[in-house]
């Protein structure tokens, strides 16, 4: 098939469940379209797109053809009256099963400190890495054994805050949609009585426990080398000295929250581990109480790796208080949570990103079985649904059906896409309104190809997936295909790397993307871009 004829029509390259909304997006104007059986060539459905309209984010005209009424399983393509032909796609109720599994298995490929063997990793193997104790920056005589955990992104740093977000997304997914996690992943721990998703999170949680200072309860912000290694460096060849950066309030707050979550989720499977998580969370909370007004984190002078700086920690404290209250029922955490609401409100109470973790605190409180303040619970519920309504309104006006405004196509825009879908699904769970779910699924369609570039933003999935992510193991391992199941950061109109400045200037926000290793500001991968995608797909495979 001539791929140049596919440039004018975008679809979800994985496909659609039978009863889902199914939209083909045309960029060549409006008119007739046909749904064609890919095997027989028979036209099984015909329709007309709506009127073409200007889409500011993508910088072009788009029209939308709805073929939701066709529910027969099979393999299909879309053909237009101007000769455009889409990539083939599937209609089947299990269409997202393998994608969900790949997005979750990606966390195994991010593992640090152990050999990835062929029987679990296929061709994407590497030797054990980063096993030497790390120097505590500013206390050069002090060493911390902080092996294990997940590499954060395309580099080999490990960061408590982003790791806590990723863990939170996965633990919430496993709590809300346990049926989605029945299948084994093919990781070393598979075959036990604990779901593989919890096994995988435990690998990160055990690293986080090593990042807590035993004497004070505070948590070191991150573990990295002083500088990033070259782009084709394999993990085992990154042998520069390791450093843990100083304790931060944001890391300590995230740690307390994630450990309190873990204490609940692991209790049915491993009471001793759950208890150790709760003790660590309570000790971290004691540190937070003893350090009000703690300065925001900034990289120490000699450190040039990812900073994850954050000037305020009210949202992390808010999240920690909510999780500790939900886990323990102790009134002191409830009181702290109520007092923190006003401090967090100016920054937003419903955000799910590493820079503002407030949404996790709100979710923890709303879904808690503990006694609530009725007025506060009503305020938070109404506020979350109001925020979901705002996102839904953007979806309804957007040519591609997603909730990003043009100015939101920033570094990690695909995280925002999936975070928004996640919030819509939480609203669906709170309200029972299927309208939120119908908007959320459009974000899945966007991720897998229903976008202005007509590509899947996940390695190894779809007919036209990204091939050259900013991911050092994929660059240096000698395997043609990148590590599968990695979510790319996506379009970023801010031109924040040299390649983007040279090649993407003048592009529309949603088209500001380059599938090259050099464009780290558009095509990097991270654990906390994968994690909300796992949550969202869990809804659509776990019902």
Q: Is 169 assigned a catalytic role?
A: no
Does some domain include residue 29? yes
Left, alpha or beta for 138 (phi > 0: left; psi -120 to 50: alpha)? left
Same structural domain for residues 397 and 307?
Answer: yes
Q: Distance (Å, rounded) from C-alpha 88 to C-alpha 246?
A: 51
Same structural domain for residues 279 and 380?
Answer: yes
Contact yes or no for 235/152 (Cβ under 8 A): no
Helix axes 160-176, 97-109, angle to 10 degrees: 150
CA proximity to 300, closest of 262, 258, 244? 244
Residue 316's domain comprises 125-402
pLDDT attached to residue 1 = 43
CATH number at residue 87: 2.60.40.10
Of 93, 115, 389, 515, which is the active-site residue?
A: 515
Contact yes or no for 249/357 (Cβ under 8 A): no
Does some domain include residue 489? no
377, 402, 427 - which closes a domain = 402
Same structural domain for residues 216 and 309?
Answer: yes
Q: Distance (Å, rounded) from C-alpha 188 to C-alpha 116?
A: 9
Same structural domain for residues 27 and 146?
Answer: no
Question: pTM of this prediction?
Answer: 0.97
Contact yes or no for 487/170 (Cβ under 8 A): no
Does some domain include residue 531? no
Same structural domain for residues 88 and 136?
Answer: no
pLDDT digits (tens, 9 = 90+) for 483-515: 999 999 999 999 999 999 999 999 999 999 999
Does some domain include residue 530? no
CA proximity to 71, closest of 98, 46, 42, 93? 93
Give the distance between the most distant pair of CA atoms in the chain.
73
190 burial via Cβ count (<10 Å: 0-12, 13-18, 19+): middle
Same structural domain for residues 175 and 89?
Answer: no
Same structural domain for residues 219 and 355?
Answer: yes
pLDDT attached to residue 5 = 56
Task: State the pairing for strand pair 243-244/134-136.
Answer: parallel
368, 402, 436 - which closes a domain = 402
Phi, psi of 301 (to 5 degrees): -55, -40
* Count of domains forming the chain: 2
pLDDT attached to residue 7 = 64
Which regions of the chain are under pLDDT 70? Answer: 1-7, 542-543
Q: Distance (Å, rounded) from C-alpha 208 to C-alpha 322?
A: 20
Does some domain include residue 439? no
Q: Is 53 assigned a catalytic role?
A: no
Does some domain include residue 480? no
Same structural domain for residues 355 and 393?
Answer: yes
Does some domain include residue 66? yes
Q: Distance (Å, rounded) from C-alpha 149 to C-alpha 413?
A: 25
Of 28, 204, 310, 524, which is the active-site residue?
A: 524
Strands (E), 204-339: 222-224, 243-244
Does some domain include residue 10? yes
Same structural domain for residues 145 and 72?
Answer: no
CATH number at residue 244: 1.50.10.10
382, 402, 422 - which closes a domain = 402
pLDDT digits (tens, 9 = 90+) for 72-104: 999 999 999 999 999 999 999 999 999 999 999
Same structural domain for residues 69 and 173?
Answer: no
pLDDT attached to residue 28 = 81
């Amino acid at each position: 098939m001539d791929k140049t004829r596919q440039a004018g029509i975008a679809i979800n390259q994985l496909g659609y469940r039978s009863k889902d909304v199914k939209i083909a997006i045309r960029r060549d104007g409006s008119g007739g379209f046909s749904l064609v059986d890919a095997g027989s060539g028979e036209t099984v459905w015909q329709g007309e797109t709506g009127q073409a309209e200007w889409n500011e984010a993508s910088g072009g005209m788009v029209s939308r053809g709805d073929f939701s009424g066709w529910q027969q399983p099979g393999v299909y393509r879309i053909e237009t009256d101007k000769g455009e032909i889409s990539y083939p796609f599937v209609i089947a109720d299990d269409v997202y099963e393998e994608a969900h599994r790949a997005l979750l298995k990606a966390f195994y490929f991010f593992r640090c400190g152990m050999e990835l063997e062929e029987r679990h990793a296929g061709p994407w193997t590497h030797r054990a890495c980063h096993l030497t104790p790390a120097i505590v920056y500013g206390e050069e005589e002090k060493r911390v054994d902080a092996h294990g955990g997940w590499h954060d992104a395309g580099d080999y740093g490990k960061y408590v805050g982003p790791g806590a977000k990723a863990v939170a997304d996965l633990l919430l997914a496993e709590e809300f949609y346990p049926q989605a996690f029945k299948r084994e992943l093919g990781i070393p721990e598979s075959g036990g009585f604990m779901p593989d998703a919890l096994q995988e999170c435990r690998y990160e949680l055990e690293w986080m426990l090593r990042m807590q200072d035993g004497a004070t309860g505070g948590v070191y912000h991150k573990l990295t080398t002083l500088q990033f290694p070259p782009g084709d460096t394999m993990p085992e060849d990154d042998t520069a000295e390791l450093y843990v950066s100083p304790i931060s309030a944001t890391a300590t707050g995230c740690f307390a929250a994630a450990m309190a979550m873990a204490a609940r989720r692991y209790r049915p499977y491993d009471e001793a581990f759950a208890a150790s998580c709760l003790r660590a969370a309570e000790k971290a909370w004691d540190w937070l109480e003893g350090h009000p007004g703690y300065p925001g984190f900034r990289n120490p002078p000699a450190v040039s790796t990812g900073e994850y700086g954050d000037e305020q920690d009210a949202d992390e404290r808010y999240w920690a208080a909510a999780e500790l209250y939900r886990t323990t029922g102790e009134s002191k955490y409830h009181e702290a949570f109520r007092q923190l609401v006003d401090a967090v409100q100016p920054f937003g109470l419903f955000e799910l990103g590493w820079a503002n973790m407030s949404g996790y605190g709100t979710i923890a409180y709303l879904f808690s079985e503990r006694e609530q303040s009725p007025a506060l619970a009503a305020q938070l519920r109404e506020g979350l649904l109001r925020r979901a309504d705002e996102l839904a309104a953007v979806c309804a006006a957007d040519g591609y059906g997603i909730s990003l405004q043009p100015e939101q196509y920033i570094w990690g825009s695909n995280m925002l896409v999936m975070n928004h879908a996640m919030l819509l699904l939480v609203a669906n769970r709170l309200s029972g309104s299927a309208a939120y779910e119908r908007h959320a699924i459009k974000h899945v369609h966007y991720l897998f190809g229903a976008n202005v570039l007509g590509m899947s933003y996940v390695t190894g999935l779809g007919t036209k997936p990204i091939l050259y992510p900013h991911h050092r193991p994929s660059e240096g391992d000698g395997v043609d295909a990148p590590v599968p199941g990695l979510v790319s950061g996506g379009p970023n109109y801010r031109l924040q790397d040299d390649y983007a400045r040279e090649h993407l200037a003048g592009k529309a926000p949603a088209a500001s993307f380059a599938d090259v290793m050099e464009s780290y500001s558009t095509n990097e991968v991270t654990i906390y871009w994968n994690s909300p995608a796992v949550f969202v797909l869990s809804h659509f495979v776990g019902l």
